[in-house]
Amino acid sequence: MSVLIRRAEPGDEAELTAMVHELAEFEHAADECLLTESGLRTALFGESPTVNGHVVEVDGQVAAGALWFLSFSTWDGVAGVYLEDLYVRPAFRRRGLARELLATLARVCVDNGYSRLSWAVLDWNTDAIALYDSVGGRPQTDWITYRVSGPELSALAGPG
């Protein structure tokens, strides 16, 4: 088995978009996923990129991917990596690809002097939780994640 982990490059947006939609289906939220190839292409490779990505190729096939962005710790005074999505296609699971992707992102952090690698996981995804525990990840149980979006976001923003 030949495994190559590399930064996303133009042309990967089709596979990455497909994997995001596959992940949304897995998370029982397919109807909430609005990502398009052109939107991801702009986010990854546009004039002001807002996301980074990695893909994993196994014997030349795109088997997994990760989308992430830089965050900033005011307490540490340096950036960190926030992993938005990590997905391994079902046919390629149980081969260590997710662990290798996490190790690659940890290397991005170490090489750039970033202080942390962070992510969120659904509380019912026991396989992912087991992986994250095994690599030294620790749940931040003292924090509650909040989000405002859709009509509530527009209402909060007020008249524009």
The DSSP H or E segment spanning 4 is strand 3-7
Determine the Cα–Cα distance for residues 58 and 63; give it in Å rounded to an integer. Answer: 6
Determine the Cα–Cα distance for residues 67 and 50; give it in Å rounded to an integer. Answer: 10
Determine the Cα–Cα distance for residues 95 and 149; give it in Å rounded to an integer. Answer: 36
Within 52-149, residue ranges assigned H as helices are: 97-112, 126-134
The DSSP code sequence of 107-134 is HHHHHHT---EEE---TT-HHHHHHHHH
5: which 2 tokens? Answer: 């982990």
Q: Which of 87, 114, 132, 146 is catalytic?
A: 132
Check if 132 is active-site: yes
Residues designated as active site:
132
